[in-house]
Structures are given as C-alpha cells and as structure tokens.
Amino acid sequence: MRKKLTACAFALTLCLSALIAAGCGGDSNTSTTGAGSSETTAAASTADEGFYFELEGQKLTPGMAQDDMISAIGETDNVFSAPSCAGQGTDYTYTYGSVEIVTVPNADGVNEISTIALRDDLTSTPEGVSLYMTTADMTAAYGEDYTQSGNAYTYVKGNVKLSFIIENDEITSIEYSLATA
Amino acid sequence: MSITSYSFLLFAGVLFILYYLIPRRFQWILLLIASYVFYCFSGVRYLGYILATTVFSYIVSMKIWDLKRRQDARLKLKKDEFSREEKKAYKASVKKKQKAWLVAALLFNFGILGIIKYGNFIVSNVGSLFGASGDDLFFHLALPLGISFYTFQTMGYLIDLYRGEYEPERNFFKFALFVSYFPQLIQGPISRFGSLSKDLYTGHAFDGRQVASGLQRMLYGYFKKMVIADRIITGLTTISGDPATYSGTFVLVGMIFYAIDLYMDFSGGIDIVIGLSQALGITLPENFKRPYFSKSLKDYWHRWHISLCNWFKDYLFYPISTSPAMLARAKKMKAAGHEGLSRRFTVYTATMVVWLSTGIWHGASWNFVVWGLLNGFFLLLSQELEPAYRRFYERFPRLEKNALWNAFRIVRTFLFVSLLCMFDYYDSVSTVIRSFIGMFSSFRLSVFWDGSLLAIGLTAADYWILLVSLILVFVVSWFQEKGRSVRSLIAARALPVRVIAWYGLFLIVILFGAYGIGYDATQFIYNQF
Amino acid sequence: MKAKKILSVVVVTVFVIGTLYLLQRLVMPKYMDDVVEGNFIAEYYNEEKDHDVIFLGDCEVYENFSPLVLWEEYGINSYIRGSAQQLVSQSYYILEDTLRYETPDVVVFSVLAVPYNEAPRESYNRMTLDGMRWSLSKVNAIRDSMTEEESFLDYVFPLLRYHSRITELTADDFTYLFHRDLVSHNGYYMRVDSLPAENVPEGRPLGDYTIDAAQMEYLDKIRTLCEEKGIQLVLVKAPSLYPYWYDEWDAQITEYAEEHDLLYVNLLAQADEAGLDFQTDTYDGGLHLNLSGAEKLSRYFGAILQDHCGLESRRGEEALEAAWQEKTVWYEEDKARQEAEIAAGE
C-alpha cells in the first residue's frame, strides 16, 4: 500500500512539473523558440508592418494574392492580360481609376500583386504624397532614409519597396513593389 | 553541403578514389584533410569552434594522461616508502587534479555548446521573466555543423580517459581526426574512441565486398531519405504549419507522417554515413535497431538513437545514480524507514536528469523540455507498473508469445512514441495540447476518402510510392529483426538477381526520389543537433 | 571463365546505360501537345543548313516573321533561331552554335531582350538549352544563364531534372519517345486566331533607363562574331505593343547601331507603314502578331532586307524550290487546321 502511495505521489509530482513547464512555455513560446521558428515569425510580422496602399478603404500590398485583391476592391473593366510566352502564366494589369495594379504568377502559379502604381494626382499614398509633389513633400512624409539610383528614390519597409521617381524636383512616379524582387 | 546534394556525392567520390590510390599509411591524413574541407563547406567562420574544442580537449587529455603517468612513476619509485594510507591519499590528490582538468574541459566545451545552442533560449526566457520583450535580447548565432555530435563524442573521450579506460591519442592530428571525422559531423552516430580509433588510423586495403556492401547501404539510406522522408515531409509541413485548419483527424495523420519522416530521414542518413564509412573500411556503431518494432517505451529507447542514449547512460545516468552524495542520501532515507523511497531516489533522480538533458539536447525550446520529461515520466511509470505486468502475464502465460498481442503492443508503442513526438513539430506546447484534444473531439474518418489527403501537397501517386516503399522497408526490417541481413541474402544470389535488385533500387531513388527543382531540398532533421 | 566475366560486365553495362537512356527520353517533356515552343531550338538541326538570313531572339522574332513569305516574295531563305524568353546571352551562344553549321549573309537580332533584361527562369532555360546540341557553346550558354537553383548536372543528365514526371506520363511521352513532329515553320510559330489590342498599359516611368552594361556586352559579342564571319548584322525591334518599348532605350540602341554602322529598324515605329492593324493582326491583344500580321510584317521587312543587305532572290534554285514546296504544304495545312479549330470553337 505504502509503495503504491509513494509511486502515486511521485507520479503526481512529475505530472505537475511537466504541466508547469508546459504552462510556462505555452505563452512565451512563440516569441522565444529557437532559431528555427524565429525566422518565420519575423518574416510574417514584418509583412504586416510594411508599406501599403489604400484603395476604397482596403489595404493593398505587393505579394497579396490577386483573388484577395479582387474580393477586397472588386472587379474592373480595365484589365490587360499579357500571357507569358510558352504558357508560363499570365501577367495582368488592372486599372482602377488612378491606380494601376500588376499581378504576376508566383512560384506556385498563383497570381500575386507585383506592383501598385499611381497614375495621376487624384489619389495619394496613405501618408499623403501624390504625383507632381516635390522632393521636400516626399521627405517630409517618409524621411531621409532612402536609397537613390538614377532618379529613383526608394524606401523599404518590411518586404515592401516604395519608389518615387523625381524629375526636376517633381514626383513623376510612385510605385509599390516587393523588396525582394 | 547537404548529404543528398550532387556536391556531396562528388566530394565522397573523389575522396573514395584518392583514399584507395594513396599509400595506406597516409589514408588517415587524407580523411583529416577531407573532414576539414567538408567542414569549411558549411562555413569557414565555424572552423574556430571545432578547432577550439580540438585544441583544448587535446591539452586536457595530455594533462590527464601526464598526471597519471607521473603518478605511476612516483608510486613505482616510492613503492617502499609510501604506506597504504599515504598511497591512497596521494592517488586521491592526483585524481583531484585530473578531475579539475576534466571539469575545466567539460565547462569549456559544454559552455560553447550552451551559449551557441541555448543562449537564445535562456536569455529570452530570463528576459521575459523581467518583462523584456524577447526581440531586444535576441542574439543570433548560427549553429556550427555537428557541434552537438562532436562535443559529446569528445567529452565522452575525456571522461573515459579520466576513468583510465584507455591511453590518450598522443598525435594531435590523429586526435583532430577523431573529433572531426566528417561523416559523423552530419548527424552522428556518437562513437567511442576505443572502437573508432583503430579503424580511423590504420590503413585499409581495397576490399571489394566491403566497398560494395557499404555502397549498397548508402543506396538504401538514400532510398529511405529521398523517396520516403523527403516526400512525406510536404504533407507534414502543411499539417503542422497550419494547426487551426488541419485539426482533428489531420493531427493523427500528421503524427504518423512525422514518425515515418523522422525515422526514415534520420536512420536513412545514418545508413549513408555508416555505408560510406564501411566503403572506406571504417566501422561505425549502429544507431538504430528497428525502433518501431519495440514493444514498450523502454524497448524503444534501446533501439532509437542508440549512441546518444548510451552516452547519457554512461556519462550521466551512472555518475549521478552512483555518486557518493546520492548514495549517502539514499542511505539516510533507508535509515529513516523509507525503504521504497530510498530504493527509488537515486534511479528516479538520475532518470529525470537524463531525460531533461535528452530533451534539451534535441533543441532549445520548451517543447523539447516537456518531451524529455514526459519520456522520463512514462519510463518510470512503466517501471512502477512492472509488478502489475508480471502478475498479468502470470495469469495469462500464453499471451506473451501471442503474435496478435505482440502486434498490439508494437502498434501501441508506436502510437505512443509518435504522440510524444508531437512536441517536435508543433510550434508550442499549447498547440500540441490543443491539437491533441482536437484529435479526439473532432475526429472525422471521412478525411481518409473524401479527398482531403490529396489537398496537403501529396498526390495519389505520392501515396502509392510511399505505400510501396514503406512495405519494402518493412520487409527488409522484418528480415533484420529475424537476424538476417538482406544484403547478404542478395549477395548470395546469381548476378542477374543482384543487378536487378541493386540497380532497381538505384532506379527507384533516381526516379522516385523527391529531389531537385520542384522539391524543396530539405535538410536532415538532425543536421544541426 | 575470364571471357564470361568480361561478357557479363559488358552486358550489365549495356543494360544499365540502355535503360537509363530510355528512361531519360521517356521523362523528358515532349512539348508536342502544348508549349510547342520547347521544340523550336532543336528543330533547326534537321534543316538543310544553307540560309541567307538567320533571325535571333525571343518570341518577338518567332511569332512575328514568316520565312515562307520571305521566300515567296523575295527568294530569301531564312530560319528563325528563337525560343521563349531567349536571353541575350543565349542568343549569342545560339549564334555560335549556328555558325558551326553554316554562315548566313545576314543575322537579324531582336533587341527587346537587351534592355528588358528579364531574370532567367528555369522553364524557359530548359526550353532553350535542352534543344541545343552539345558543344562548347551549349556548355557556356548553360553556365551563363543557369538560375541559382539549377545545376549543370541536370542539363548533362536531364533524367535528374525530369524524374518526377514519371508519375505524370501521357501517351505523348511514348509516341514521341524517339521523334517529334514538325511544329514550326522554319522557326516561325504560326497563330491564326485574333484578339484585338485593348487597354494596353503605358510604360511606367523608370528611375534609370540606362541599359545594363553586361547586356550590351553580349550585344557587342554578337556584333563582333558577325563581323569576324563577314555577316551583316541587322537589329530590329518587333512591333509588339507590350512589353513597353521606351524611347530612352530606343535612343541607346540607335546610338549603338550608328556607332557600329549597323542597320537598326524599329518596326514598332513603322507599324503603320507595314500596314499592321492591332485590331486584327494580333492574337493576344498586342503582344504578338498572328499570321495575318506576321505576313504583312514579313513583306514589309523583306523589302528592307533585300534593299539594304543586297540579298539576291534564290527563287529558281531547284533544291530550294523543292524544299520550300514541301514547307508550303505544311504551312497551308497548319493554317487550315487552326482555322478549322477556330470555326469548330465558334
């Protein structure tokens, strides 16, 4: 009898310690597990923090699936489809008023937004910059942390690249694209 | 350099040819060079770690040996002068010095391992206790190749040396080869110096049979790894990556997939490593003995990752359970009338320490800690239930030999082990518990025929390939379990049969292996352990 | 005894190599049912190699020029060595490869790929490179355009690349185990359907219009090679509305052509003169011409070739006439078949 009691007590203690360990781990785990998972969580969280464009109150970002985009902002009549040579998928250019959105097939053959471009000054970025504004307007909204190549000024946030082209101190192009591309 | 890459095959091929072309006395030097070249492929910046372990461990091994040598000389010299007590005291003082060196080496090497492998885990957990966010405290150190394997192997060597089990290797470069022998760096096994050193340092003449047998074993390893493990992992990652969608029956499917994947990947890799070594005339210890034929958890741990389990048994379990402090405490308990407790105290403590360490060895996360503790707990529990089992078998004596009953025990153990393994592939302990509950609460048998299984990244053809391959592995394992070697059985047949068997397996790997563009080349699960 | 051993080694070796070869042929894509573009590069080797003009480039050459029209109207014997998304470097190596067999009078190179500089894609690489016969040119072409995921060994033993197709084999894989049907018309990809160009997007401004130096270097290598062999090099921009052709790019190509005294024809700018109507002459909304468009363009461009390069008509050469007679039959058959398909679809 006594033996059994001892065994039970021991078993219970072990169970409890395991559960306590489990309880401790449960909450903190997602942020603290080793190298393996930290990379993925980092990628996922930065995707949320990257630049985005707003159309009809919906957030659009490069990398978003074309289907998700259409269900968010609806269809448009102005679509241009460019089938790649030899049946390797089709690029689409959707024009919604002042905004041009290009989708291209990803590695799995699913179309995703590759670029969002502003075509005129009837619309602006969520930070309030539109075409034909000046360099000062751009830096006032996005700061000085850009890289310059030719006339292009590029800001990167998360996995999204926001590029302005400035000619004669006038913004002539605003484009969102994937930073990895 | 992944073991399934073209570059590895090229590397191994060139080494193999050179190995048998050069004079035999230089073979070990070639192996040393090859091992370091191999290590450099994983990143030259990691070279410092293995060199530090090699140099420091070498110094300590020499110190321990030197102390012993001087002790022996002095004892011989003062044979007549020393009284028995003096002799004992002197020996104890030398042992103390040796121990100091050993402890220094253990601290140094396990320190490196600890900082690199567990620094993140410790710092972020301690940090979160004080309310700091994990991200601020993160410091990223990539794991050098095989650090756990070579650290454990080298520390085992030093402990054996301290125990006086053998003389140390005095040639630094030969010692360096023992630490770095490249096939083991990939994923073990963890060898003992006594058995490995002879094979490593002596020359080997080309032996056609040995070479053929080694290559055949490699091929079988590639088959297990590339055709089965690398295929099934697609389905597994779909399930484990999205536990919210893949709940209920999928949890069971994922559990079985993981068990298959882990065994095929790990034991397949070991087959490649052992086979390659065999082709070079070097015998490595076996690491698996058909673990999924185990009839109990205890049995399983005698058949799975054997070299690691032995390491923990020899260098952790016994030292703890037989340490004077533990024995003294147990004695005290006995004196106080707690006989049962006293009997269990040492074994239980040692077991739990071993399993906590085994858990941590597998990875720096709470998942593995819980996994290790659960294993220890259930092993002890079954030990406690031993008398009950005995009575049960006394009552039903024929059951023990009953095939059906034993099949039930095998399936039960397999499912149980697979269940514990859920901690390996779900991202947190809470997910495991949620998924485990969901497996029963929302079990749908229809998953097996409504096409859901074709939506997790595996096609009908994949399932057929898996099924046939698993049957093949099962048959081979069955033969091995009966003590027969399939390789010898085939070798005894006529040439056409041999050609068809091995070339057939080769074609299966080439055609049905999940490699190349279109398949994500997955790393060995045990690579960075 | 020894003879028996040698014999068994030989038998086993032959068996192993033979089965591997067969399996490799079996799993390699046949590109017969769809994506016939994958066969273009290889088809060239079955040709009688005595061409006056070789076209080099991507879809902007193989979908826009009809060698039959050039033959019928101008007596020019031409062949198009182009494949889907053929990179500039690949065009260079394919030119090298072509010169192993013949030296044409004129090479026409389509320049879109020079500034466009698309990242190599494995599927296109395979279509272009698998079709090439083994030579140093092929080796260099592979090494220059392989993506990071690809490996050279996969080109040497395509079985290693295509092995997973073993579970997806179709009847075509057995039918075309040892041969292919002809799919192109001297490298021209015929399409008779039509889709008017609508909503073609304007080019978006670029931060930098400078053409990549490495790309220009390959263009220069093509020019040098032509010069060495005494071949006239003609640069063309095909009249495709998309991808967008920037004036800034055009200026750089024009400058390069002037600098090296080359003829550069921007057929996009001359689309009206060529009589092209993007409501009827394209099959995919302005990206590529259909048969009607390609024939119009070939008539227009043939005249330029004849005038500028001094090509004499070879009509009347017996062997050539006979060969083209045969090609005309297949051309008309293909056209009729496609028209019938369209009619059936409607």
Give the contacts of A105 (CB within 8 A, at least 6 positions apart).
Answer: A84, A88, A89, A90, A91, A111, A112
Name which residue leads in pLDDT, B121 or A21.
Answer: B121
- Is C159 in the B-facing interface, judged by CB distances under 8 Å? yes
Q: Which CA distances in Å does B364 have to B114, B120, B431, B435, B528?
A: 9, 8, 17, 22, 12
Burial B280-313 (b: 16+ CB within 10 A, else e): bbbebbebbbbbbbbbbbebbbebbbbbbbbbbe
Give the position of tokens 């609508």.
C198
- Is C161 in the B-facing interface, judged by CB distances under 8 Å? yes
C-alpha closest to that of B158 among B63, B59, B70, B57: B57
Widest Cα–Cα separation across chain A: 93
Residue of A76, A85, A138 to mutate for C, most C C-beta atoms under 10 A = A85
pLDDT digits over C152-166, tens only? 999 999 999 999 889
What's CA A177's distance to the chain center, in Å?
9
Q: What is the DSSP code string of C149-200?
A: T--HHHHH-HHHHHGGGGGS--HHHHHTSS-----SBTTB----------SP
Task: Tell me what pLDDT residue B130 has.
Answer: 60
Q: Which residue in chain B has the smallest CA separation from C121?
A: B517
Indicate the residue of B459, B495, B510 with minimum beta-carbon distance to C163: B510
Q: What are phi and psi of A118, to 5 degrees?
A: -90, 130
Cα distance between residue A39 and residue B144, in whole Å: 18
Instruction: Decide: helix, strand or coil at residue B318.
Output: helix
Whether the Cβ atoms of residue B384 and residue A3 lie closer than 8 Å to each other:
no
Whether the Cβ atoms of residue B426 and residue B240 lie closer than 8 Å to each other:
yes
- How high is the ipTM of this complex? 0.87
- Cβ distance of C161 and B495 shorter than 8 Å: no
Task: Tell me what pLDDT residue B345 has.
Answer: 84
Asked, as a colleague might, if the bond just before C120 is cis with ω within 30 of 0, I would say: no
Instruction: Decide: helix, strand or coil at residue B118.
Output: helix
Cα distance between residue A141 and residue A135, in whole Å: 10
pTM listed for this prediction: 0.85
Cα distance between residue B429 and residue B426, in whole Å: 8
- Cβ distance of B511 and C150 shorter than 8 Å: no
Task: Tell me what pLDDT residue B79 has.
Answer: 76
Q: Which long-range contacts (CB under 8 A, 24 or more apart) does A101-107 make?
A: A101/A60, A101/A69, A103/A66, A103/A69
Give all strands (DSSP E) within chain C, no chain letters: 53-57, 78-82, 106-110, 232-237, 263-266
Specify the pairing of strand C106-110 against strand C232-237.
parallel
Instruction: Decide: helix, strand or coil at residue C263.
Output: strand
Angle at A41 between CA B42 and CA B264, to 5 degrees: 50
Task: Tell me what pLDDT residue A44 has.
Answer: 37
Indicate the residue of B6, B461, B518 with minimum beta-carbon distance to C153: B6
pLDDT digits over C258-276, tens only? 999 999 999 999 999 999 9
What average pLDDT does the segment A92-105 reach? 90
Residue A40 has pLDDT above 70, yes or no: no
How many contacts, defined by CB atoms under 8 Å, are there between A and B?
A: 98
C-alpha closest to that of C271 among C121, C64, C123: C64
Cα distance between residue A110 and residue B505, in whole Å: 36
What average pLDDT does the segment A19-45 reach? 30
Give the contacts of C17 (CB within 8 A, at least 6 positions apart).
Answer: none
Indicate the residue of B366, B373, B377 with minimum beta-carbon distance to A29: B366
- Mean pLDDT of chain A, nearest integer: 74
> Distance (Å) from the C-alpha of residue B192 to the closest C-alpha of chain C?
39
- Is B363 in the A-facing interface, judged by CB distances under 8 Å? yes
Task: Tell me what pLDDT residue B142 has.
Answer: 63
Task: Tell me what pLDDT residue B128 has.
Answer: 64
Residue C69 has pLDDT above 90, yes or no: yes
Burial C199-236 (b: 16+ CB within 10 A, else e): ebbeebbbbeeebeeebbebbebbbebbeeeebbbbbb
Cα distance between residue B224 and residue B337, in whole Å: 55
With contact defined as 3+ CB pairs under 8 Å, the chains touching B are: A, C
Task: Tell me what pLDDT residue B518 has.
Answer: 60
Q: Which long-range contacts (CB under 8 A, 24 or more apart) does B520-525 make?
A: B520/B234, B521/B2, B521/B4, B521/B5, B521/B230, B522/B229, B522/B230, B522/B233, B523/B2, B524/B2, B524/B3, B524/B186, B524/B187, B524/B225, B524/B265, B524/B266, B524/B269, B525/B261, B525/B262, B525/B265, B525/B266
Q: What is the end-to-end Cα distance of chain C in Å, rounded?
A: 73
pLDDT in tens, chain B (529 residues): 788 889 999 999 999 999 999 999 999 999 999 999 998 888 888 888 899 999 999 999 999 998 888 888 888 887 777 788 888 888 888 888 898 899 998 899 888 888 887 777 777 776 666 655 444 444 455 677 788 889 999 999 999 999 888 888 999 999 999 999 999 888 879 988 888 888 899 989 999 999 999 999 999 999 999 999 999 998 888 888 888 888 888 888 999 999 999 999 999 999 999 999 999 999 999 999 999 988 888 889 889 989 988 888 888 888 888 888 888 888 888 888 787 788 788 888 888 988 888 888 887 788 888 888 888 898 888 888 888 888 888 888 888 788 898 899 999 999 988 888 888 888 788 888 888 888 888 777 887 888 888 888 888 899 999 999 999 999 999 999 898 988 889 989 988 899 999 999 999 999 999 888 766 433 334 433 3
pLDDT digits over A113-170, tens only? 999 999 888 888 999 898 999 999 999 999 999 999 888 999 998 889 999 999 899 9
C-alpha closest to that of C60 among C75, C77, C80, C45: C80
Q: Which residue in chain B has the smallest CA separation from C147?
A: B517
- Is C15 in the B-facing interface, judged by CB distances under 8 Å? yes
With the C-alpha atoms ordered B477, B483, B485, B489, is the resulting torsion angle positive or negative?
negative
Residue A29 has pLDDT above 70, yes or no: no
Q: Of A24-28, A54-58, B312-316, where does mean pLDDT reach its minimum?
A: A24-28
Indicate the residue of B6, B503, B518 with minimum beta-carbon distance to C164: B518
pLDDT digits over C294-321, tens only? 999 999 999 999 999 999 999 999 999 9
Domain that holds residue C15: 2-345
Q: Which residue in chain B has the smallest CA separation from C27?
A: B511
Q: Which helix (H) or strand (E) holds B468?
A: helix B460-481
C-alpha closest to that of A44 among A57, A56, A31: A31
Task: Tell me what pLDDT residue B519 has.
Answer: 63
Give the contacts of A22 (CB within 8 A, at least 6 positions apart).
Answer: B366, B370, B429, B430, B433
Tokens coding C193? 């359907």
Mark out chain A residues that contact chain C at CB-CB < 8 A.
78-88, 93, 95, 100, 115, 117, 149-154, 163, 165, 167, 172-173, 175
**Taking the CB of residue B265, how many other CB atoms lie within 10 A of it?**
25
Whether the Cβ atoms of residue B175 and residue B196 lie closer than 8 Å to each other:
no
- Is B518 in the C-facing interface, judged by CB distances under 8 Å? yes
Specify the pairing of strand A79-83 against strand A99-105.
unpaired
Cα distance between residue B396 and residue B402, in whole Å: 10
Give all strands (DSSP E) within chain A, no chain letters: 53-55, 58-60, 79-83, 90-96, 99-105, 111-118, 147-149, 152-157, 160-167, 170-178
Instruction: Decide: helix, strand or coil at residue C86.
Output: coil
Tokens coding A124? 């602006």
Domain count, chain C: 1
**Taking the CB of residue C187, how many other CB atoms lie within 10 A of it?**
23
CATH of the domain at C209: 3.40.50.1110
Residue A28: list chain B partners with CB under 8 A: 124-125, 128, 134, 366
Residue A21 has pLDDT above 60, yes or no: no
Tokens coding B116? 């690199």
Residue C154: list chain B partners with CB under 8 A: 516-517
Q: What are phi and psi of C181, to 5 degrees?
A: -80, 155
Give the position of tokens 């005038």.
C307
Residue A79: list chain C partners with CB under 8 A: 199
Length of chain B in residues, anyone? 529
Q: Place A89 in a pLDDT band, splitting at 50, 70 and 90.
A: confident
Q: Place A9 in a pLDDT band, splitting at 50, 70 and 90.
A: very low
With contact defined as 3+ CB pairs under 8 Å, the chains touching C are: A, B
